[in-house]
Amino acid sequence: MKVAYLGPAGTFSEEAAATAPRAAGAELVPQATIADAIEAVGDGRADEAAVPIENSIEGSVAQTLDTLADRTDVTIVGEQVLAVSHLLVAAGPLDEADLRRVVSHPQPLGQCAHWLRAHVPGAELVAASSTADAVREIAAAPGQPWAAIGTRRAAELYGGTILAEGIEDVPGNETRFVWIGHRDAPVEAPTKTSLVFWGSGDDTPGWLADCLSEFARRGVNLTKIESRPLRGQLGHYRFFVDLALGLDADDARAAVDGLRTHCEHVRVLGSYPA
């Protein structure tokens, strides 16, 4: 079994993939981006992928949502919650006051925003493709007044020096990962469903309420609802929702069928064990 994840080695995505019972003994295959990890499943280069979809501080991971909404060849087959604690890593010993640049993936930069403003207010914040890439970049530039936000494993792998630990803004920081499988992958005992819908009528009064009423009047609880811009159409949105039922439940299926009467597009992203 091959499992794709946002690489290189030393990311939280690798930790999620490496610690999940479903991936025991699997070959972990690093990818340059979250979209690449999902695409690896779609085109058969990997059997599954572990990708971040939501963080308890910074919210949803836009690239994951948008990529899943655009693809019909993959599905969510499971989820996993990982405790996340961030470290500030430099190439060598360095005082925080001397830092002029902090590099990391946009999610950790957001999760540590208050700490960064308080401790390194003059530092430039630079986005990287992953936390491990950020640490690797910083470790390769000794003598520069730069640091990265990353993991202990990345610091060990790439030779970084840890300047500070636990720099996330809120204790108990967690990231929810979803496991992506092939479109027809079997799923046992689903208790949760994720879907996205959009289409004509979204700019008329009551349209969204009519859509959501299909769930409310059947007693189907929604544990999440979020909008994302419909790319290329300013003022129009795609709506992502999570249902606290699997699609093997009659009420859930009826609600989704009802939703289709209001929308041009309804795409089930996955029905899986919560």
271 contacts 186 by C-beta, under 8 angstroms:
no
Q: Which of 64, 67, 75, 175 is catalytic?
A: 175
Tokens coding 207: 């349209």
**Dist. CA 197–CA 34, nearest whole Å:** 22
Instruction: Answer yes or no: 175 catalytic.
Output: yes
Compute the CA torsion angle 90, 96, 97, 101 (nearest 10 deg): 40
Determine how β-strand 27-31 pairs with β-strand 124-127: unpaired
Tell me how many degrees the CA angle 249-250-251 measures, rounded to the nearest 5: 95
Q: Which of 12, 177, 197, 239 is catalytic?
A: 177
Angle of helix 34-42 versus helix 62-70 axis, rounded to 10: 30
**Dist. CA 150–CA 131, nearest whole Å:** 5
Angle of helix 207-216 versus helix 250-260 axis, rounded to 10: 160
What count of residues does the chain have?
274
Give the catalytic positions in this structure. 175, 177
